[in-house]
Amino acid sequence: MTVQSQSDTRFDTARLIESARQVVGGGSEFIPLHTPTIGGSAWTYVKECLDTGWVSSAGAYVTRFEEEAATFTGAKRAVAVVNGTAALHTALMLVGVEAGDEVIMPSLTFVATANATRYCGAVPHFVDIETRSLGLDPAKLAAHLDRIAERRGGGTVNRETGQRIGAVVPMHTFGHPVDLDALVEVCDRWGLPMVEDAAESLGSYYKGRHTGRFGRVGILSFNGNKVITAGAGGALITDDEQLAERAKHITTTAKRPHRWAYYHDVTGYNYRMPNLNAALGCAQFEQLPGLLEAKRKLADRYAEAFADVPGVSILREPAYARSNYWLNALLLGEGQADRRDEVLDALCGADLQVRPVWIPMHELPMYQQCPRMDLPVTESIARRVINLPSSADLAPSA
């Protein structure tokens, strides 16, 4: 294991800058962390919205965008919404998460995963991650449930808090798929619905099947910093027609179709994606295969450039997966964690926009009191990850 044997070697930050510049281009040009690559039909489609006045909550591009998302991922249905957070909130409601329930998720995630849970009146419950994927560790989850959970009254209850466990939400960190077969097995054993937060993993596959398609429902994000963007946007993907229908209904104010009557049958949400955003999203889907190719190329170049740098490694896709390599991650060796901020300062100082990973959710004030297991891997990884510039146009496809 080269990585471990080198992990105590002190590296030189100048060497890191040199290796990164080798990949993204020399000189002193400012290189952002991630920018969208807008091309192809974007101008035509968006202009058509402007020219026809179909800019808002109705229009043909929304339906087309949903078809693109379903076709690309292989899901039977996709329902477009205003952003990935809204998609998560909707998905959690539709699998039956209710006020007071606990929702199992990694602590190392973007805050939206925990926030969407809170929007349901539910409580995040944090489980540790594994280093291979930086996502939920199925073995730790299984052992944790064996310790704290019991089947009671048709559900699974946390014996320590007395609360029902409503769902399990794995997240595919930086696009790298978690070990889904093992997770599905644990969820099935406990009768827990799985909602995949695939916000970062459009174009990532687990054993040949697109991420987001392993639970009852998965969600995607089309925010400006994701692999492709609709300006803002999200989608639910599912093979469950009925769930898709209900998703469409409650995200469009739960209005019953009628020529003129405003009849809403439940409390709905105004979560629909505007046609203007869907138009940009449709154009981006046409670019997606090329962008994914470029991103793999970029990831390979980083791996090569940092291969001989002691004390660091570049995160690679797990053996079972094909990752979209949304964001490249430099991992400092365990002995170097105390140097993270020094590295961030040095790279930013060299006009390379780099970022640490999110502060784990259990360290944020509003989620500090949430139930959790011991999170040693989460806490170690959170101190050692540095995301490198990862825009697709840093490695243009042929």
113 scored as a contact of ligand PLP (CB under 6 A): yes
Figure out which of the listed residues 103, 104, 108, 199 binds ligand PLP, where binding follows CB under 6 A.
Answer: 199
Is 366 within 8 Å of 353 (Cβ atoms)? no
Nearer to ligand PLP, 130 or 350 (CB): 130
- Exposed, middle or buried, 168 (CB in 10 Å: 0-12/13-18/19+)? buried
Interface of this chain with ligand PLP, residues 210 to 269, rule: CB under 6 A: 221, 223, 234
Q: Does 83 bind ligand PLP (CB under 6 A)?
A: yes
Distances (CA, A) of 158 to 6, 155, 180, 192, 291: 42, 10, 23, 12, 43
- Interaction of residue 200 with ligand PLP, rule CB under 6 A: yes
Q: Does 84 contact ligand PLP by CB under 6 A?
A: yes
The DSSP annotation for 16-72 comes to HHHHHHHHH-STT--B-S------TTHHHHHHHHHHHT--SS--HHHHHHHHHHHHH
- # residues contacting ligand PLP (CB under 6 A): 14
Nearest approach in angstroms of CB 170 to ligand PLP is 10
Are β-strands 321-322 and 165-168 bridged in parallel, bridged antiparallel, or unpaired? Answer: unpaired
* 195-197: strand order across its sheet: 77-81, 234-238, 217-221, 195-197
Binding to ligand PLP, residues 145-184 (CB under 6 A): 171
* 85 makes contact with ligand PLP (CB under 6 A): yes
The residue within the footprint of ligand PLP, chosen from 7, 19, 73, 109 (CB under 6 A), is 109
Rounded alpha-carbon distances, angstroms, from residue 327 to 58, 104, 200, 261: 33, 24, 9, 47
Rounded CA separation 232/220 (Å):
11
- Of the candidates 2, 68, 7, the one whose C-alpha atom is nearest the C-alpha of residue 332 is 7
Nearer to ligand PLP, 174 or 306 (CB): 174
Q: Which is nearer to ligand PLP, 205 or 306 (CB)?
A: 205
Output the smallest distance, CB 134 to ligand PLP, in A. 11
What's the min distance (Å) between Cβ of 199 and ligand PLP?
Answer: 3
According to the binding rule CB under 6 A, does residue 197 interact with ligand PLP?
yes
Which CB sits closer to ligand PLP, 19 or 113?
A: 113
Q: DSSP states of 307-367 as a string? A: TT-TTEEE----TTEE----SEEEEE-GGGGGGHHHHHHHHHHTTB--EEPPPPGGGSGGG
Scanning 79-87, 273-281, 363-371, 375-383 for contacts with ligand PLP by CB under 6 A, the matching segment is 79-87
Least Å from the CB of residue 82 to ligand PLP: 8
Minimum CB separation from ligand PLP for residue 27, in Å?
31
Alpha carbon distance 213, 198 (integer Å): 9
Shortest distance, CB of residue 5 to ligand PLP, whole angstroms? Answer: 33
Please give the angle made by the CA atoms of 216, 251 and 196, to the nearest 5 degrees: 25
Q: Which residue has the tokens 């709905």?
A: 268
Give the residue with the Cβ less far from ligand PLP, 85 or 90.
Answer: 85
Contact with ligand PLP (CB under 6 A) among 110, 126, 285, 302: 110
Stretch near ligand PLP under the rule CB under 6 A, chosen from 10-18, 182-190, 193-201, 239-247: 193-201
Measured from the CB atom, the residue of 31 and 171 that comes closer to ligand PLP is 171
Between CA 239 and CA 253 the distance in angstroms is: 23
Nearer to ligand PLP, 23 or 202 (CB): 202
Residues at the interface with ligand PLP (CB under 6 A): 83-85, 109-110, 112-113, 171, 197, 199-200, 221, 223, 234
